[in-house]
Amino acid sequence: MKSSQYHYQNRVWQTSKSLPLASPAQLVLTFGCRQLASSKEFQSELRLAFPDADIIGCSTSGEIIDTEVFDETMVVNELTFEHTETQCRSINLDDFASFDAAISSLAESLPFEHLKHVLVISDGQNVNGTDLAEKLMTKLPTKVTISGGLAGDGDRFNETIVWHNDKVSAKQIVLCGFYGDQLQVGFGSAGGWVPFGPERLITKSEANELYELDGQSALELYKEYLGEFASELPASALRFPLCLKNENNGDFTVRTILNIDESSNSLIFAGDIPEGQYVTLMRANTGKLIDGAQLSAQQSLDIAGCDDPDFALLISCVGRRLVLQQESEYELESVQEVLGEGCTLGGFYSYGELSPRGFENRCLLHNQTMTVTTFKEHN
């Protein structure tokens, strides 16, 4: 497996090497500015460089290349495999009568024989990430692992887009299947947020929309905690995600706000917020966030059973970036310390992360985590 990276900024390729001419790469992962992705000129330039590749990616809340973060640029990750086949499929939700029908069609369009891992890149504004993860789990073979993320749009929360070759739009979801026995895939996801305050009962919610906690307006409660930052909602709510506790097994999941609805006094999350469960507000500690990133990298090595991956896809939550700000690169450096400088790092800041937890195959929606997927191909 070989990987190369290219960085397009201010209408100029910033990397020391220019784009290849007719590369044999099978897969190109591109993350960045939605205006660039929609440019026919830019699309043509990529297609000339990678004539046989599936080119997939999404808009972001920050592009990751190595241990640096950029905005309004385009990061291009060229992946060439020797013994592994990749196949990509995509759908637009507007073409289907229901979400279930869309995901069924998408998952079943991938060949299942020898399928090892599926990478998911999804619209981040119009998709319930919990629903996406659960439906993919039911439609794909049991032993197939799933990871990926939801597209971002900075801290604007206006529109996210996903692309697959020349199809560039909102409400799009793309799957990339990896086939073969000589590819090792690892994954890890960790946060570092600290719960504070009392547990609160979810007394009114519907799917991923939260109305009441302990019988009080959840939106008004958030505004109280945010104080002077309340006027910056929904972006400022990323400073206080919710810790959702599963009363059946004691597990907890972090949920982050994507939007607010003043007319219904509600908060809209990236995943489900079930009535009857308990939540606690969380806040950030910079050191713990960086420790969480390091832990996710170590988990990915443990899962893969190797310590020298070729390429790592890093998907970190926009909320982490808003808290870490100029220290965001520290979490990328902490990942590199674990994976080694021989591993190429690429990815993006997202509106949600998808990955199994630990050694379980079950894919979950995560929020406010650093999620790492590593790839290593053996001869």
Per-domain residue ranges for the chain? 2-190+287-377, 194-283
Which pLDDT belongs to residue 248? 65
Look at 233-242, 283-292, 340-349 and tell me which has the smallest mean pLDDT: 233-242
**Which tokens belong to 93?**
């939700």
Segment holding 13, helix H or strand E: strand 12-13
pLDDT at site 297: 98
- Output the pLDDT for position 183: 97
Return the pLDDT at 211: 97
pLDDT attached to residue 247: 67
Q: What's CA 361's distance to the chain center, in Å? A: 17
Concatenated DSSP letters of 165-228 = TTEEETTEEEEEEEE-SSEEEEEEEE---EEEEEEEEEEEEETTEEEEETTEEHHHHHHHHHGG
Read off the pLDDT of residues 147-184 as tens digits, 9 standing for 90 and up: 999 999 998 888 999 999 999 999 999 999 999 999 99
Tokens 């790469």 correspond to 25
Order of strands across the sheet that contains 363-366: 85-92, 172-179, 115-122, 145-150, 352-356, 363-366
Q: Taking 90 as the threshold, does the pLDDT of residue 227 lie above it?
A: no
**pLDDT tens-place string over residues 46-65:** 999 999 999 999 999 999 99
Mean pLDDT to the nearest integer, 99-113:
98
What local confidence, expressed as pLDDT, does residue 55 receive? 98
**What is the spatial distance between Cα 8 and Cα 71, in angstroms, rounded to a whole number?**
11
Question: Which pLDDT does position 250 carry in this prediction?
Answer: 60
pLDDT of residue 296: 97
pLDDT of residue 236: 84
Which residues pair with residue 58 across a beta bridge?
31, 162
- Note the pLDDT of residue 299: 96
Q: How do residues 289-317 score in pLDDT, each as one tens digit?
A: 999 999 999 999 999 999 999 999 999 99
Summarize pLDDT for 125-141 with one digit per residue, the tens.
Answer: 999 999 999 999 999 99
In terms of average pLDDT, the best of 125-134, 229-238, 246-255 is 125-134
> For the segment 23-40, what is each residue's pLDDT rounded down to a tens digit?
999 999 999 999 999 999
For all residues of the chain together, what is the average pLDDT?
A: 93
Q: What percent of the chain has pLDDT over 70?
A: 98
Model confidence, pTM: 0.92
- Distance (Å, whole) CA 290 – CA 301: 17
The percent of residues above 90 in pLDDT, for the chain, comes to 77
